[in-house]
């Protein structure tokens, strides 16, 4: 629960500190005194939006500190939030929010820097604030559903529904992306097939271009090569005084010498090997020369082939090897494109599975809501009677619920079945109805409920919802709008009973409600040295009497107002 609130340099507040207790804490004060500033500061402490306008004029920064005691709080959600954030779990949580005159700020949790995101999550677990205009949300279907879910404790069911809906949305989006890309993929498939066939028809081989260019060079210079080769062969073997003939004569002479001196045998062997090589070279030149011949047709073939290679290189790579590599890449791409239809079929199955799970969750949630609605209707009768609306009948009406089975005429939309449409919180459409007076038909709240009735309905719903959720601290910010007299006293009694096992903070203008306070506070605005200042303090019993008398009597407090105030306090004490 909230133990204390310290505020400095915040709007009209210079500095104040208030301590709060278990039970019903009531805050009063004249209109415009600054009661809303307390709520605004507390909202800032639990993650509300910060701005430079909140800093008091001429101050460097505004500071809000809130101390919460979680020692006796059974729900470990707060402890888990601290543990997940890396903070030690202690019996108390001190939140400090600092906002500079530039609008920048700092957030501390038990003295350690933290984030506004964590602060907001802690705030949801620590406080529940019900504002003076919130009763109008009863007229909205979405808010009615939220209140019913809160009463029924269906938070886990709704979370499961939201998760299932999110999975379905993701699966559907992926499926739609595949469908929308189908024509693009088909166009790409045709292009890839054409490119593969174009490369395949060329029957390329690695190194082919170099071989063709070499062959072309030979054909272009065939006559020159023939002349050179013939001259070489003539000099080596077929001409007069050919090298092979001269070397043969030398070998004959040396053979005679080698018989006389064996040391010439090695030289003789070298010359014999040289002669054999010269003869082989001459033979190869002769053969090469016989193969050489100008061939214009072959030149045309080579040029045509090189032109094909050049065109393919411009389209697919800077070499024949690169073109071949591109062919392999295109083959892999075509395989992937050919399996896209299989992917679409698989995604359709994924959508169907996600839809089945989401609709199952929606039907289970709907059944749970109907059970909760039945209980709520029974409880609201007693609750409204206790709030001065005896004989009123409250009901929850659901729109016709289809069976949720796909119809043959349904569009291919997994979020629609029959007349039902799936959303993140299920497929229900519900509305609150009220018969405020016996014998009158139940009609939608928007048609029958007055402002006072809406206030009491909201209080009743919140009270029942809170009892289901065991919230640690509840704040009611002028939720008594539109009520007065005896009804206001009934509302005060209900707030007191609601505060029997939890902390309740209530801001009110009604003395009938303020009389039931277990701990009373007042907010006062004064002018000091030409500046408006809002302050607040806890009231003693005598001060409470004066404050109630002021609320009853206006600017001048009469003896009659004080007597009436004392009677109200005594009556409230007896009722408690």
Q: Assess whether 328 and 213 both reside in one domain.
A: yes
| Cβ count near 373 (within 10 Å) | 20
Q: Say yes or no: 196 and 124 in one domain.
A: no
- Residue-level pLDDT at 559: 85
CATH number at residue 14: 3.40.50.300
Say how many C-beta atoms besides its own lie within 10 A of residue 386's C-beta: 17
CA separation for the pair 418, 4 (Å, rounded): 54
Residue 447 φ/ψ, nearest 5 degrees: -100, -20
Residue 371 in contact with residue 152, Cβ under 8 Å? yes
**Tokens coding 82:** 């601290």
| Same domain for 253 and 124 | no
Q: How far apart are CA 122 and CA 118, in angstroms?
A: 6
Contact 18, 39 (CB under 8 A): no
Please tell me the predicted confidence (pLDDT) of residue 410: 43
171 within a domain of the structure (yes/no)? no
On whether both 4 and 106 belong to a single domain, the answer is: yes
Q: Check: CB of residue 487 under 8 Å from CB of residue 456.
A: yes
Q: Do 195 and 327 fall within a single domain?
A: yes
Confirm whether 407 is domain-assigned. no
pLDDT for the residue numbered 411: 44
**In order along the chain (576 residues), what is the average pLDDT of each group of 10 residues?**
92 91 91 84 87 89 92 73 81 91 89 88 79 55 81 88 93 82 73 86 85 78 75 75 78 80 82 82 76 76 85 87 88 73 78 93 94 92 82 86 50 81 91 85 76 74 66 76 73 85 87 91 87 89 89 79 88 79
Do 474 and 569 have their domain in common? yes
370 beta partners: none
Domain assignment present for residue 109? The answer is yes
Give the residue numbers spanning the domain of 241: 191-337
- The pLDDT score that the predictor gives to residue 153 is 85
Query: Do residues 38 and 45 lie in contact, with contact meaning Cβ atoms separated by under 8 Å?
Result: no
Looking only at the bridges linking them, the beta strands covering 473-477 and 127-130 are parallel
Specify the pTM. Answer: 0.61
Q: Which helix (H) or strand (E) holds 260?
A: helix 243-260
Do 333 and 196 fall within a single domain? yes
Rounded to 5°, angle at Cα 270 from 266 and 273: 135
Q: Which residues contact 360 (CB under 8 A, 6 or more apart)?
A: 164
Residue 241: left (phi > 0), alpha (psi -120 to 50), or beta?
A: left
Q: 126 and 198: one domain?
A: no
For residues 225 and 110, state if they share a domain: no
Burial of residue 333, with CB atoms counted within 10 A of its CB: 0-12 exposed, 13-18 middle, 19 or more buried = middle
H-only helix segments in 181-207: 182-202
Residue 95 shares a structural domain with residue 214: no
Instruction: Look at residue 406 in the predicted model and tell me its pLDDT.
Output: 53
- Boundary-marking domain end, from 337, 364, 397: 337
Residue 414 located in a structural domain: no
Residues 238 and 331 in one domain: yes
Distances (CA, A) of 15 to 6, 57, 59, 95: 8, 13, 12, 17
pLDDT for the residue numbered 88: 81
Shared domain check, 98 and 199:
no
Whether residue 230 is contained in a domain is answered as yes
The residue from 317, 337, 357 where one domain ends is 337
**Cβ-contact 150, 465 below 8 angstroms:** yes
Question: What is the SS3 string spanning 423-472?
Answer: ECCECCCEEEEEECCCCCCCEEHHHHCCHHHHHHHHHHHHHHHHHHHCCC
410 DSSP 8-state letter: -
Give the domain-ending residue among 279, 302, 337.
337
In a domain? residue 25: yes
Q: Per the domain annotation, does 75 fall within a domain?
A: yes
The SS3 of residue 123 is helix
410 within domain boundaries: no
At residue 3, the pLDDT reads 92
Tokens of 349: 């199955």
Query: Number of folded domains in the chain?
Result: 2
Please tell me the predicted confidence (pLDDT) of residue 32. Answer: 80
């Amino acid at each position: 629960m909230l133990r204390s609130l310290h505020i400095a340099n915040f709007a009209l507040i210079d500095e104040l500190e208030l301590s709060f207790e278990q039970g019903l804490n009531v805050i009063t004060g004249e209109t415009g005194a600054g009661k809303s500033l307390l709520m605004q500061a507390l909202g800032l402490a639990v993650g509300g939006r910060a701005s430079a306008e909140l800093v008091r004029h001429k101050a460097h920064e505004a500071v809000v500190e809130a101390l919460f005691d979680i020692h006796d709080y059974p729900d470990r959600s707060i402890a888990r939030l601290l543990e997940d954030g890396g903070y030690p779990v202690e019996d108390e949580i001190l939140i400090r929010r600092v906002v500079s005159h530039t609008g920048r700020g700092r957030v501390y949790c038990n003295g350690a820097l933290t984030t506004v995101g964590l602060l907001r999550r802690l705030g949801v677990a620590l406080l529940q604030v019900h504002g003076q205009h919130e009763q109008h949300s009863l007229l909205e279907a979405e808010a009615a559903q939220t209140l019913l879910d809160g009463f029924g404790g269906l938070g886990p069911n709704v979370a499961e529904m939201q998760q299932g809906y999110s999975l379905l949305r993701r699966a559907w989006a992926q499926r739609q992306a595949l469908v929308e890309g189908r024509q693009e993929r088909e166009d790409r498939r045709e292009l890839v097939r054409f490119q593969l066939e174009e490369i395949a028809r060329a029957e390329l081989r690695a190194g082919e271009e170099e071989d063709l260019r070499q062959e072309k060079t030979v054909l272009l210079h065939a006559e020159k090569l023939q002349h050179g080769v013939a001259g070489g062969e003539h000099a080596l073997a077929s001409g007069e005084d050919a090298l092979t003939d001269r070397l043969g004569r030398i070998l004959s002479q040396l053979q005679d010498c080698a018989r006389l001196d064996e040391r010439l045998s090695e030289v003789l062997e070298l010359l014999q090997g040289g002669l054999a090589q010269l003869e082989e070279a001459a033979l190869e030149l002769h053969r090469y020369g016989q193969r050489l011949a100008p061939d214009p047709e072959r030149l045309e073939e080579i040029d045509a082939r090189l032109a094909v290679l050049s065109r393919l290189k411009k389209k697919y790579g800077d070499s024949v090897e690169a073109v071949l590599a591109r062919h392999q890449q295109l083959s892999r791409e075509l395989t992937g494109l050919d399996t896209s239809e299989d992917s679409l079929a698989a995604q359709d199955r994924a959508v169907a599975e996600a839809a089945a799970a989401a609709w199952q969750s929606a039907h289970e949630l709907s059944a749970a809501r109907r059970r909760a609605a039945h209980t709520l209707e029974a409880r609201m009768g007693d609750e409204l009677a206790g709030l001065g609306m005896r004989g009123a009948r409250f009901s929850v009406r659901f729109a016709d619920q289809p069976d949720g089975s796909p119809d043959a005429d349904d569009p291919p939309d997994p979020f629609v079945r029959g007349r039902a449409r799936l959303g993140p919180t299920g497929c229900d459409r519900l509305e609150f109805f009220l018969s405020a007076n016996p014998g009158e038909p139940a009609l939608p709240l928007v048609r029958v409920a007055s402002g006072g009735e809406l206030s009491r309905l909201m209080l009743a719903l919140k009270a029942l919802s809170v009892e289901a959720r065991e919230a640690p601290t509840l704040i009611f910010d002028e939720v008594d709008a539109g009520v007065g007299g005896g009804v206001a006293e009934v509302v005060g009694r209900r707030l007191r009973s609601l505060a029997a096992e939890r902390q309740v903070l209530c801001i009110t203008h009604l003395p009938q409600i303020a009389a039931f306070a277990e701990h009373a506070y007042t907010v006062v605005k004064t002018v000091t040295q030409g500046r408006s200042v809002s302050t607040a303090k806890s009231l003693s019993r005598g001060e409470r009497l004066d404050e109630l008398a002021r609320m009853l009597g206006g600017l001048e407090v009469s003896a009659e107002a004080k007597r009436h105030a004392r009677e109200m306090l005594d009556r409230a004490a007896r009722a408690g």
